[in-house]
A and B are shown apart, each in its own frame.
Chain A
């Protein structure tokens, strides 16, 4: 294989992309212009370059015309650079003798003037032709993939992904921030549209996580740091103290019974504050692991989190010989090696207090959706009875959709699940209070798009839920009743409807710490705050960081079936990497020419990865190829020009600029 020092023989391929490119750009004129450029041997336009015949065209031309450089002008390289590099390699030349020109996203889709767009395409390709002539052959390095996997977040998505991979025989670390896995789904009563009980389908999965020989479950823990690259991540996990030795606790809960607090008196997080717990507690009956924990903020043996040893410690007495309670427990730091990561950190519900005119937090009978989940749940604080905060049973209930979503003041997006759970509440409240209950459902649109969803909507209509199109403008409190005021947009009439209880369907939103978590894993976020996938259609589970995948609601609002499907997909992505065993590392990294390096060591301080060291004997800086990520911080600053970024070196960028301007000077801008 040649190394790029021979005379360039360039093949240029201009894609029509059906009508997407050819509709705006005169591709034939571009191909004709390119034909005359130095080094160009073949210049063609073709309907779909990414199709099989399109790729074969490149391969035939490489053989037939002895091409040694390829330029494809089509869509974004983020979409098809891989495709064409592969085609180039299959044709028998190094894949880095290829350059892609984006004449779709950066040209035909954003320009309307045919002449100007055609000129621009000529210039873009001219730049690429000049650039590709200076490309060098690069060898892709292969590194082994560590077979262990880290799953972050123990909600339904994380659980499903972890079990799937563990069943395939892979070792999985599941890290969960809360004391138990289960996530939001563990709080739900029934799941739409089948109305099977959430606990019945979730808890067996939770216990299989707890018992699986291939899963290491770390609850009450957080990932603090991630170093390395695909296949070789070093992860630091912080395990918060539970003040209980996990291996010794058998979950008998004697300590809870014998706590000096006879009554549970502190608001309980799992029940959204509707229930009460003690300072020593287990989050909920089916918690996994079945291990209690002590809240140092509330326990009398601590004062504001600091150990005082002042309590009678009846819990320790109750634990007796098991000796599972350890007030001295400290935060523990674990370091693990994994090859791949699945981020499944989930969502947070919108704070309904941010919508002041609905009175959440002011009127006690205004509830949020998650509170209602606990209220109707047989294992909830009321044992499944719908009893209001004032002790009464409501007779009329209003359900308000889109609180915080589809609202330009809060979140523009649709939360996707609210319509369906609102229907579910209608059904469940009817079920619990009786058919005489009056339920008003205030919606903007009903979006019942999934399998069996529309049928469920019809069923609720038949059960007698009143559907009113038009979100209330305000909720008032008049003579002990909550009055919803708004406009019925179908009838074109104002309404004032008094009810006993209001349920606000609060939006799903990105977690507060999504930015920080994103930084740890190198995952960026989209406008709505959720994690950004690599490509919305073709790579919805991957991220910009190789080896890090997304599952569940950390990427966008979604329901349980979709979260599970996505988790299966992420697990499949991970498994396919592990099974392949090796991953190719981009060779587009830096190198320092020892003949030019003056030994000033400026690059050492610039490198964010400490990938450059100084060779004292030769008095030159040296790049460690395993650590270099190819950001080019060194090459951009090197005063002597010794540091260079492979595939992005000065000569290549200069040639591209030259080409762009040659075209501008030749054919106008």
Chain B
């Protein structure tokens, strides 16, 4: 599996992590091109179905990333995301997905470096775990 390039889907909040990703761009911090961002207004908006959908479509890893605790633009949406991610980690094995493939992080608007490092690390994890079987296993 030498040329295997894992797909990473990142659900990022508009106010913090999306801005951090912009900053990573402004600073020209290179990371894996297989990382694809989906902008949502707040991680509190994240429906658990989005994550499952991304996995079933073939994502090797999913990142959910919002504002740091206390910094949420909508007061506490990030905490709601934390609950959902915890729940998802419980049920993902039932879909044949290793919970490690899902990651929740808090990356503030000024943390461009942290964003680039986080997605790079997650891509490495996904590469180590190998291609996801979820799409093939679940006949859609």
Interface residues of A (CB under 8 A from B): 76-78, 102, 104-107, 109-113, 116-117, 119-120, 123-124, 127, 515, 519, 522, 524-527, 532, 544-545, 588, 606, 608-609, 629-633, 635-637, 645, 648, 650, 653-654, 656-658, 660-661, 664-665, 669
Contact = CB atoms under 8 A, between A and B. Distances in A.
14 contacts: A76-B22, A76-B25, A104-B25, A106-B22, A519-B71, A544-B15, A544-B73, A633-B77, A636-B47, A657-B57, A660-B38, A661-B58, A664-B58, A669-B5
Question: Of residues B22, B33, B34, B37, which shows the largest number of chain A Cβ atoms within 10 Å of its Cβ?
Answer: B33
Given A105-B26, A106-B21, A119-B33, A653 B38 contact: yes
B45 interface: yes
B34 A632 contact: no
Contacts of B33: 107, 111, 113, 116-117, 119-120
Given A106-B37, A107-B33, A631-B45, 20 more contacts: A76-B25, A78-B22, A104-B25, A119-B33, A120-B34, A524-B71, A524-B108, A524-B109, A544-B109, A609-B75, A631-B73, A632-B44, A632-B77, A633-B45, A633-B80, A636-B81, A637-B47, A660-B9, A664-B58, A669-B5
Interface string B58-93: 110000000100110111110011001000000000
A635 B45 contact: yes
Contacts of B14: 78
A123 B34 CA distance: 10
A109 B28 contact: yes
A503 B130 CA distance: 60
B88 to A, nearest CB: 12
A109 B25 contact: yes
B103 interface: no
Interface string B81-123: 1001000000000000000000000001111000010000000
Interface size on B, as a range, is 35 or more
Contacts of B31: 110-111
Given A78-B22, A633-B74, A657-B57, A645 B41 contact: yes
B22 to A, nearest CB: 4
B54 A657 contact: yes
Nearest to B75: A608
Contacts of A515: 70
Nearest to A525: B110
Nearest to A516: B70
A438 B112 CA distance: 47
B80 A636 contact: yes
Contacts of A525: 110
B44 A631 contact: yes
Contacts of A606: 44, 80
A633 B42 contact: yes
B57 A661 contact: yes
A111 B33 CA distance: 6
What are the 8 tightest A-B residue pairs by CB atom distance, in nearest-first order? A632-B45, A105-B25, A631-B74, A116-B33, A109-B25, A661-B57, A608-B75, A633-B44
A336 B30 CA distance: 48
Contacts of B39: 77
Contacts of A658: 57
A603 to B, nearest CB: 11
Contacts of B26: 105, 109
Given A633-B74, A653-B38, A657-B38, A527 B47 contact: no
Question: Of residues B5, B29, B37, B116, which shows the largest number of chain A Cβ atoms within 10 Å of its Cβ?
Answer: B37
A631 B47 CA distance: 12
A657 B53 CA distance: 8
A635 B76 CA distance: 15
B28 to A, nearest CB: 6
Nearest to B119: A110
Given A78-B19, A525-B110, A669-B7, A608 B29 contact: no
B49 interface: yes
Nearest to A113: B33
Contacts of B70: 515, 519
A606 B42 CA distance: 13
A110 B53 contact: no
A636 B45 contact: yes
A644 to B, nearest CB: 10
B53 A648 contact: no
Given A106-B21, A657-B9, A645 B45 contact: yes
B21 A105 contact: yes
B18 to A, nearest CB: 7
A124 B42 contact: no
B44 A636 contact: yes
A569 B61 CA distance: 45
Question: Of residues A106, A107, A112, A545, which shows the largest number of chain B Cβ atoms within 10 Å of its Cβ?
Answer: A106
B28 A532 contact: no
B119 to A, nearest CB: 9
A624 to B, nearest CB: 15
A69 B71 CA distance: 35
Contact of A656 (B29, B30, B38, B80): B38
A588 B41 contact: yes
B109 A110 contact: no
B79 to A, nearest CB: 10
A656 B47 CA distance: 14
Nearest to A536: B26
Nearest to B14: A78
B34 A669 contact: yes
A117 B34 CA distance: 9
Contacts of B116: 110
Given A109-B26, A524-B16, A657 B77 contact: no
A117 B31 CA distance: 11
Contacts of B58: 661, 664-665
B2 to A, nearest CB: 15
A532 B30 contact: no
B47 A124 contact: no
B22 A632 contact: no
Contacts of B54: 657
A105 B22 CA distance: 5
Given A109-B25, A661-B58, A669-B5, A532 B36 contact: no
B134 interface: no
B110 A527 contact: yes
